[in-house]
């Protein structure tokens, strides 16, 4: 069985479960499909856009990658903490952690 990588794009609280407006879709992000396409075929890749679907923190995965911009960094850190509590290693990326790596490293493996 192949190792599983789960890539997550966090949502602002107004776009999470219970707050999503029916028929309104956010602009799709290209970073996650690009990373998935570049990932070696030895791995299976899941993509979760929290603007579209809820995150199942019990999902079977071997690694979580989260991208974030500054406005979504607090949510990215919450997501990271949930997976790390379950023993799943987390990698953070995106403009926020690229600009503030000393902060990002506190929330990732």
Task: State pTM to two decimals.
Answer: 0.89
Q: What are phi and psi of 37, to 5 degrees?
A: -65, -30
CA distance 95 to 68: 7
CATH of 4-107, one of 3.40.50, 3.90.1200, 1.10.1060, 1.10.10: 3.40.50
Residue 103 φ/ψ, nearest 5 degrees: -80, -45
Cβ atoms of 79 and 66 closer than 8 Å:
yes
Give residue-wise pLDDT tens across range 15-65.
Answer: 666 665 555 556 677 888 999 999 999 999 999 998 888 999 999 999 999
User: Where do the structural domains in the chain lie, given as residue ranges?
Assistant: 4-107
Write the CA distances from 15 to 22, 31, 53, 63, integer angstroms.
11, 19, 10, 25
Tens digits of per-residue pLDDT, 74-93?
A: 999 999 999 999 999 999 99
């Amino acid at each position: 069985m192949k190792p599983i990588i789960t890539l997550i794009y966090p949502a602002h609280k107004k776009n999470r479960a219970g707050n999503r407006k029916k028929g309104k879709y956010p602009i799709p992000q290209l970073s996650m499909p690009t990373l998935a396409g570049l990932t070696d075929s030895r791995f299976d890749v899941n993509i979760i856009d929290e603007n579209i679907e809820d995150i199942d923190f019990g999902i079977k995965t071997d690694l979580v990658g989260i991208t974030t911009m500054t406005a979504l960094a607090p949510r990215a850190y919450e997501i990271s903490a949930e997976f790390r509590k379950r023993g799943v290693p987390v990698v953070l990326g995106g403009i926020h952690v690229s600009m503030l790596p000393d902060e990002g490293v506190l929330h990732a493996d």
